[in-house]
Amino acid sequence: FYALLCSVAADIISTVEFNSTGELLATGDKGGRVVVFQREQESKNQPHRRGEYNVYSTFQSHEPEFDYLKSLEIEEKINKIRWLPQQNAAYFLLSTNDKTVKLWKISERDKRPEGYNLKDEDGRIRDPTTITALRVPVLRPMDLMVEATPRRVFSNAHTYHINSISVNSDYETFMSTDDLRINLWNLEITNRSFNIVDIKPVNMEELTEVITAAEFHPHQCNTFVYSSSKGSIRLCDMRASALCDNHSKFFEEPEDPSNRSFFSEIISSISDVKFSHSGRYLMTRDYLTVKVWDLNMESKPLETYQVHDYLRSKLCSLYENDCIFDKFECVWNGSDSVIMTGSYNNFFRMFDRNTKRDVTLEASRENSKPRAILKPRKVCVGGKCRKDEISVDSLDFSKKILHTAWHPYENIIAVAATNNLYIFQDKVN
């Protein structure tokens, strides 16, 4: 029973990520900006406002660039954001576009020094003849100011487009992944990275597969996974060798021959892979399904959920309008019992792994008055639709929910519907 908590209009949102306590939420957009939202503290006079997220800091993370060697434009669009654990009063996050990862520091300032000897409060040099006594500058309170400063720039290590970044559980290293390679970085060192996976064939004409996403295990710092455009997942152990081109586990489901078609390979491409919080399971999203894999069973997924099976008959037109190449992400709830992923027509889906119940909800301005409970939506295929149903033929494929995030331990979700961010909260109490 999710209800709207707040919504914000923005540029086209390209990534959403809560920090590890869920008090901060960062979004990245097509224009290279990062917006950080902070959850409002509970206040006695306005108890009903508890939990809304307000803009805390906005900054330009990436600018458009031009690669003169390759005559290529490098878009400023933010592909991924990852928070780092908090170590002092400031917050740190990594943001990446297609080529460059940046480490940002976000810090607060609520005091300013006053009483300089040589300049006045506005910074103008004082007339030396008027200076008659030595003053000791003091810190005075001022309105809270939030500053974002770039601390490190990790560049020149990717020939192809970066699709993922993942912070290791040792909190000293992170990896950045492009179509053919995965690099490992130390957070302190920007002029050197280690190539840990390289699937580039000697002859590019033999290329049959690209890397689509990668993530570190949440607790074992030597383990990571990456997914491919052929629908397989490889688990690698960095202790085995420096270059992990020999996976230690290989997860793949053999294709059902009765379902084979021209589109089989395209729709089996994995667009996102996520470890469960427990580290026991993997979740993958392909075009039509979400699958949950047990790390101890490589031959087939433990669970398969149909996200929008009614599109199976529409693959031809989805190929023609390029939608078949959309990259949907997927997320776990804090206890790994529910999974969420997006669809078209501003619909998103939730699957309860225990009760096997699923629901389709819609993120849209028309349907979500503040505090109103979201009504489950239903798509009907062929024949007559009931009044509250929507026909598969009238779905709007330009409205898609690719990016979502789940609060780490509360039932609060963030849903990016093109250029609107919606935050919904479960209304149990």
Binding site for ligand NAG (CB under 6 A): 19-21, 23-24, 38, 83, 85-86, 91, 191-192, 246, 256, 259, 309, 312, 333-335, 337-338, 352, 409-411
**What whole-number distance in Å separates Cα of residue 257 and Cα of residue 231?**
15
Q: How far is the CB of 297 from ligand NAG (least distance, A)?
A: 16
**CB count, 10 Å around CB of 381?**
15
Which amino acid belongs to residue 200?
K
Residue placing its CB nearer to ligand NAG in the complex, 192 or 280: 192
Residue placing its CB nearer to ligand NAG in the complex, 39 or 80: 39
Tokens of 347: 């619909």
Q: How far is the CB of 75 from ligand NAG (least distance, A)?
A: 28
Number of residues written out for the chain: 429
- Spatial strand order of the sheet with 358-362 comes to 330-332, 338-342, 347-352, 358-362
**CB count, 10 Å around CB of 407?**
21
Judged by DSSP in three states, 107 sits in strand
Residue placing its CB nearer to ligand NAG in the complex, 208 or 337: 337
Q: How far is the CB of 30 from ligand NAG (least distance, A)?
A: 25
Q: How far is the CB of 134 from ligand NAG (least distance, A)?
A: 40
Strands (E), 119-163: 138-154
257 backbone dihedrals φ, ψ, rounded to 5°: -60, -25
**What whole-number distance in Å separates Cα of residue 61 and Cα of residue 160?**
20
Q: How far is the CB of 197 from ligand NAG (least distance, A)?
A: 13
Residue placing its CB nearer to ligand NAG in the complex, 209 or 237: 237
Residue placing its CB nearer to ligand NAG in the complex, 163 or 333: 333
Q: How far is the CB of 116 from ligand NAG (least distance, A)?
A: 32
Residue placing its CB nearer to ligand NAG in the complex, 288 or 417: 288
Residue placing its CB nearer to ligand NAG in the complex, 250 or 325: 250
Q: How far is the CB of 76 from ligand NAG (least distance, A)?
A: 25
Burial bucket for residue 321 (CB in 10 Å: 0-12, 13-18, 19+): exposed
**What whole-number distance in Å separates Cα of residue 183 and Cα of residue 198?**
9
Tokens of 190: 């920007």
Integer angstrom CA distances of residue 286 from 117, 341, 343, 351: 65, 11, 12, 15
Q: How far is the CB of 119 from ligand NAG (least distance, A)?
A: 34
**What whole-number distance in Å separates Cα of residue 283 and Cα of residue 251?**
11
Question: Which residue sits closest to ligand NAG, CB atoms considered?
Answer: 334
Residue placing its CB nearer to ligand NAG in the complex, 83 or 348: 83
Residue placing its CB nearer to ligand NAG in the complex, 129 or 191: 191
Q: How far is the CB of 137 from ligand NAG (least distance, A)?
A: 30
416: CB partners within 8 A, 6+ apart: 13, 15, 16, 27, 401, 402, 403, 404, 422
Could you give the angle at the alpha carbon of 277 between the alpha carbons of 272 and 281, nearest 5°? 65
